[in-house]
A and B are shown apart, each in its own frame.
Chain A
Amino acid sequence: MNCSNNQYDDIWQDDFVLLMDYFSESNKNPPPTVGATPKELIYSENKLRLFRYKALDVKQKRTPILITYALVNRPFIIDLEPKRSLVLRLLEQGYPVYLIDWGYPDSTDCFTGLNDYINGYLYRCVQHVKRDSKKKKIDLLGICQGGVFSLCYNALHPADIRKLVTLVTPVDFHADDNLLKDWATGISQEALTQQTGNVPSLLINQLFKTLKPFQLSRDKYRQLKHLVSKKENLETFLRMEQWLNNGPDLAGLAANEFMDDFYKHNRLHRKTLTINKKNIRLERIKNPVLNILATRDHIVPPSATKALSEHIKPALYQELSLNGGHIGAFTSLKTQQKLITELVKWLG
């Protein structure tokens, strides 16, 4: 629409008034709930909680799926709202679904390292899921850094896993178009290891905003008309804001180790990664692996994800491309149908 600046101001002001009217009735329009799919706590340890989602009234599949999200941001992004919920889609297909919520680390967690997360927390969660579901093997679905943890876990404990799904998971941290890598590789070892204490979530937020500064800091606020045109649009926006602004701090040791091992030295892809003195060789994964990537992912470029194919036997490896960004790949209504169809076909 080609309009004068005065008309633009009028339109924007009218939309802003609608937004204010919505917020002014906050008793009628409270902040929308997130992660609302019913679930039950089956295990907790320190800040970690392991949930089992309540099964729907459909025929149940045999093997449970344990979802492992990244340490950055909260895992309820996979259950943001019913129509975008990956969890609900899986439950509708009859999969028993479990989720690890890593919680909010505090200062007493600053010495939690990658070994604690992978061979400690994740290991114990897997054992609990096996016991709870009475299965000797489970399926693991790792998202982003959760996928990295899942890959390491699978390589170290292959007997626990029937099938592994990695979603927007980086393997080659030195692939092209990875701005984070460009920034991280030049930082000295001393700068990394001398930092004690946790990494504040505000800093992490700012780091991710800096990858696309103008888009993420300003452009999203230009969509006011779209938001106030329909209540559900605004509610989706509010839920995303909740997710973006309530991230946990990162346990200091784990953050330093991840930065050093993966971003700086790319040890997983170079086959030189050790955790608790054990070599992590992805070639030791002998179960089927489905590797899902997002074609417009600016945080984990497709080339970083595709590198997994160099480590898994071709007979075991399958790849799926989704047209979307890092989060949009599994929250977008456009891609979700394809995602769940392919997952069901592959998982069985």
Chain B
Amino acid sequence: MNAKEHNIFEQFNGLLQSNIPDEYKDILQNFQQQGAFYQQLLQNIESGDDLSSFWELPNSLGFSINQQAQAEWLRSTFDTNDLQNPSISAQANSFDPFIKAFPQIKGALETLHVKITDMTNFHSELSQLAMQKFQVLHDEGDDLSNEQHCVNWLKAGEDAFAEVSQRDDYIQTQNELIETLGEIKNSQSTLIEQLSKTWGLPSQQSLQDLQKGLHQLRIEFAEYKEKTETTINQLKTTVRKLS
């Protein structure tokens, strides 16, 4: 890091610690991250290194950020490289009492793993396709400026995404992933209901009944107010006409 970069780094960190508005801090971090991304992209283009990682979809959408903040057991669930890791299995064993109570959770988690693996494979395919498209644009173009590299990167990525994401197998896998997540959420809700019952806490059903009741009350009150205002208005009109 040279002196200029060091000063920028210090100023950047200083601002993140300061009392400037949080939205400014978020924007600075976004620009810093994307600046680093484009810097690395252009370096890799210049050196002829592999570019496929620059179209990693989860990374682009922000799913890889702050991985350290996630619990180890959660990360291991989505880490398809660690399926056989004994320490991961040991941590997963802490789920055993729940899995025994709810065998469908085990099935759903296994399905989730499969679907995430499938989506990861699609994303790899997308990255490779984007790289091929980029190479074509790069080879066929006259303009070798950094700006054009970035434009080509974007076009290659969006074109590859459009191709892959509209395929039936991609859509089906994505939908199955969403449905599996829904199943897990439902199992979680069922589990919470059971625990609430055991501990004498209000059930989800009773909370929902309250919410529905409150909602209904609000609607009835608003309708009543509207009818009253309409009637008052009509009466005023009548009085004006009579007088």
Contact = CB atoms under 8 A, between A and B. Distances in A.
Interface residues of A, number: 58
Contacts of A116: 215, 219
Contact of A182 (B145, B171, B189): B171
Contacts, number: 152
Contacts of B211: 107-108, 110-111
B104 interface: no
B226 A124 contact: yes
Given A13-B4, A213-B60, A8 B21 contact: no
B168 to A, nearest CB: 9
Interface in B158-188: 158, 161, 165-166, 171-172, 174-175, 178-179, 182, 185-186
A131 interface: yes
Size class of the contact patch on chain B: 35 or more
Contacts of A348: none
Contact of B61 (A16, A182, A186, A210): A210
B28 A187 contact: no
Contacts of B179: 187-188, 190-191
A241 B23 contact: yes
A20 B32 CA distance: 11
A221 B34 contact: yes
Contact of B186 (A23, A124, A194, A222): A194
Nearest to A192: B182
Interface stretch (B7-15, B75-83, B95-103, B110-118): B7-15
A346 interface: no
B150 A23 contact: no
A210 B177 CA distance: 16
Interface string A1-33: 111010011001100110110011010001100
Nearest to B143: A2
A127 B34 contact: no
Does more than half of chain B's interface fall in helix, strand or loop, or is it mixed?
Answer: helix
Contact of A187 (B61, B153, B178, B185): B178
B15 A20 contact: yes
30 contacts: A1-B147, A5-B43, A8-B39, A8-B146, A9-B39, A12-B38, A13-B5, A16-B31, A16-B35, A17-B8, A17-B11, A20-B11, A20-B12, A23-B27, A26-B21, A116-B215, A124-B222, A124-B226, A127-B229, A186-B175, A212-B158, A212-B161, A214-B154, A218-B34, A218-B38, A218-B154, A219-B150, A219-B154, A221-B30, A224-B35
Interface of A: 1-3, 5, 8-9, 12-13, 16-17, 19-20, 23-24, 26, 30-31, 45-46, 107-112, 116, 120, 124, 127, 131, 179, 182-183, 186-188, 190-191, 194-196, 206, 209-210, 212-215, 217-219, 221-222, 224, 238, 241-242, 245
Interface of B: 4-5, 8, 11-12, 15, 18, 20-21, 23-24, 26-28, 30-32, 34-35, 37-39, 42-43, 46, 55, 57, 60-62, 143-147, 150, 153-154, 157-158, 161, 165-166, 171-172, 174-175, 178-179, 182, 185-186, 189, 208, 211-212, 214-215, 218-219, 222-223, 226, 229-230, 233
